[in-house]
């Protein structure tokens, strides 16, 4: 396929018109029409913009077979990302299950020492799973820094529909846990036990399921954004993205330290999990501030 044929194929696959593509590139519609007719060629800057926009390599855009490469997952990317999603989700779930079991052991059976062991064991096993998964993902990225897009519009649309259900389901589980906690506070307790002692672990179980669903949905969504994968792994991640990643990592490490100190020193395992919620909110605030600063600089 020629450059013009490849460009036309990518444009139609994205369901955008020549006018829309021209507007995104800052050129006229007639210019795009000439490119697709192979009567003229864009300058290097525009070619790089097209590659970034369509998530393809320069070689494929200029002289490759875009139609054939898009339809085939030659690197095993889909299988790898599915496995990566499951491993990350399991790692986080194991950490939360450890907290849940620890709460049940302390609240129901008064096994305070054993409760701490369960929480620490869950944290260690979950962390090992996350580290192992991260190492395998890094190895895959080094081997396959560029992936030719192969998902069809129908596949992406089908996932977007599932994504909404998974996110709503995850949020629903967390809200159901809150409702469960409110309802159980009204139930009669047993001698020497509070409602939190008896039912607190149930709330944590709802949270575990909800968070796991949201994490799974989020990583799966990123799987379909191959253009972003190629951008990040080509060393093109923006300064803002690096800053957000650095600050978010520091926040979550600090949250983990607080969690462990609160549990090990002050025996507050059942309440210390809230630091992760606060940490997640702070990460969101950092992202908004940094991106907002970038927009202000761009406007100047």
Q: What is the pLDDT of residues 189-243, one digit of tens each?
A: 666 666 666 677 888 889 889 989 999 999 999 999 888 888 777 654 455 666 6
Residues whose CB is less than 8 angstroms from the CB of residue 258 and which lie 6 or more positions away in sequence, other chains included: 272, 275
- CA 223-177-105 angle, to 5 degrees, is 100
Cβ atoms of residues 51 and 58 within 8 Å = yes
Tens digits of per-residue pLDDT, 49-94?
Answer: 888 887 777 887 887 776 666 556 778 899 999 999 999 999 989 9
The mean of the pLDDT values for the chain is 80
Tens digits of per-residue pLDDT, 134-182?
Answer: 889 889 988 888 887 788 777 888 899 999 999 999 999 989 988 888 8
pTM of the model: 0.61
Residues whose CB is less than 8 angstroms from the CB of residue 15 and which lie 6 or more positions away in sequence, other chains included: 153
| pLDDT score for 236 | 45
d(CA 75, CA 81): 11
Query: Percent of the chain at pLDDT above 90?
Result: 21
d(CA 260, CA 275): 10
The residue written with tokens 């600050």 in the block is: 247
């Amino acid at each position: 396929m020629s450059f013009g044929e490849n460009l036309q194929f990518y444009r139609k696959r994205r369901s955008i018109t020549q006018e829309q593509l021209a507007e995104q590139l800052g050129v006229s519609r007639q210019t795009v029409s000439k490119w697709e007719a192979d009567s003229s060629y864009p300058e290097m800057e525009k070619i790089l913009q097209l590659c970034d926009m369509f998530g393809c390599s320069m070689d494929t855009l200029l002289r490759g077979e875009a139609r054939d490469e898009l339809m085939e997952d030659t690197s095993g990317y889909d299988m790898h990302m599915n496995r990566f999603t499951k491993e990350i989700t399991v790692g986080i779930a194991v950490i939360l299950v450890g907290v849940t079991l620890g709460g049940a052991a302390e609240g129901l059976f008064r096994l305070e020492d054993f409760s701490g062991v369960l929480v620490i064991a869950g944290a260690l096993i979950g962390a090992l799973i996350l580290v192992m998964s991260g190492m395998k993902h890094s190895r895959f990225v080094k081997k396959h820094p560029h992936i030719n897009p192969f998902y069809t519009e129908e596949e992406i649309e089908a996932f977007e529909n599932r994504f909404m259900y998974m996110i709503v389901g995850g949020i629903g589980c967390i809200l159901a846990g809150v409702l469960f906690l409110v309802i159980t506070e009204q139930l009669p307790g047993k001698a020497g036990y509070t409602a939190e002692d008896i039912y607190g672990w149930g709330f944590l179980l709802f949270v575990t399921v909800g968070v796991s669903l949201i994490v799974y949905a989020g990583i799966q969504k990123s799987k379909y954004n191959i253009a972003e994968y190629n951008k990040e792994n080509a060393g093109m991640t923006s300064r803002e993205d690096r800053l957000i990643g650095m600050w978010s990592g520091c926040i979550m490490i600090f949250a983990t330290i607080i969690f462990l100190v609160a549990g090990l020193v002050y025996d507050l395992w059942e309440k210390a999990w809230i630091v992760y919620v606060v940490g997640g909110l702070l990460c969101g605030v950092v992202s908004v501030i940094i991106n907002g600063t970038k927009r202000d600089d761009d406007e100047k």
